[in-house]
Amino acid sequence: MFTKSTSTKQSFSKGSKHGKSSSSFTKESGVSKRRHEHRRRTQSVTNVSTASSPTAASGISPIVTLVIGPEQRIFAAHDDVLTRAPYFVNVLKYSAESSTKRIALPEESPEIFSSVLEYLYKGDYFPRLVHNKKRNTWEMEPSEDVRGSKSESTIYHHSSEGPLLKDTVIYCAAEKYGLEELKRLALRKQGLQCGVQCSTILSSARYAYAHTPETDSKLRAHFLALIIRSRSTFKRSGTMQLEMFNGGTQLFFDLFVALCNHVDDVGAQTSPRTNRYM
């Protein structure tokens, strides 16, 4: 993963040139029985072919340039890594004839896209999920990286007035790009968060409802269950009252249905059984 930005939040940069390697094999490494003059002519033809098809000649995947967010932050990624996401397979299919591959994602957050790229390259994003063998539980690694910068559980997104849970936004990005495993990873990480303010939970829930399909049964249900478990706190929340007054989302009707189901379940467990034939 590469980025031309000098921001310390990016794990990779084009300027650092980490991970850049030269080809180990060249056309000159082979042995030819043909004359030297003919070999030079053949080589010149091969060079023309290489220029038109760099992947086939060098075995190195071409670089795709990505322009991210309203600030137009520049990222770069290998084609074969980027196309692990079905979304980019379709996008790059239309730019196959172009000599320079460039994708613009003006609505995406650079910080979120950096995490998506990190997942595509490494299979996880910072802070990583680690398994505690002694307790046989999954935990988050310490949220301070090797550079000493701390990873926050919330971010500020240009489409929201308040902070949002980072894992919520990553889940929605994974939904957009067709990365089902990243959705599961983001949801598991979000489940490990604690001490989150009511206002952040509600703004994140609203964002989740705006950026997931109605058929989503994971992230939406997570927020409904979280609010119901913490209902004693939310019923005293001024933010909750304001959000319900403003409406404009399916969230609160779903919450009402979930609360009704919860009350019915509790009532069924505590009340004595009655003869249904009476």
DSSP output for 217-230: -SHHHHHHHHHHHT
pLDDT at res. 272: 58
Q: Where are the domains of the chain?
A: 1-8+60-121
Q: What is the mean pLDDT of the chain?
A: 78
- Mean pLDDT in residue range 4-15: 42
The answer on pLDDT for 41 being more than 80 is: no
What digits encode the pLDDT tens for the residues 235-278? 888 888 888 888 888 998 899 889 888 887 877 776 655 444 44
Confidence of residue 42 (pLDDT cuts 50, 70, 90): very low
Is the predicted pLDDT of residue 5 greater than 90, yes or no?
no
pLDDT, tens digit, for every residue of 76-111? 999 999 999 999 999 998 766 566 789 999 999 999
Closest CA relative to residue 69, chosen from 157, 155, 189: 157
- pLDDT of 123 > 80? The answer is yes
Task: Tell me the C-alpha distance between 173 and 194, whole Å.
Answer: 22
The tally of CA atoms less than 13 A away on the side-chain side of residue 179 is: 27
Tell me the percentage of the chain whose pLDDT exceeds 70. 70
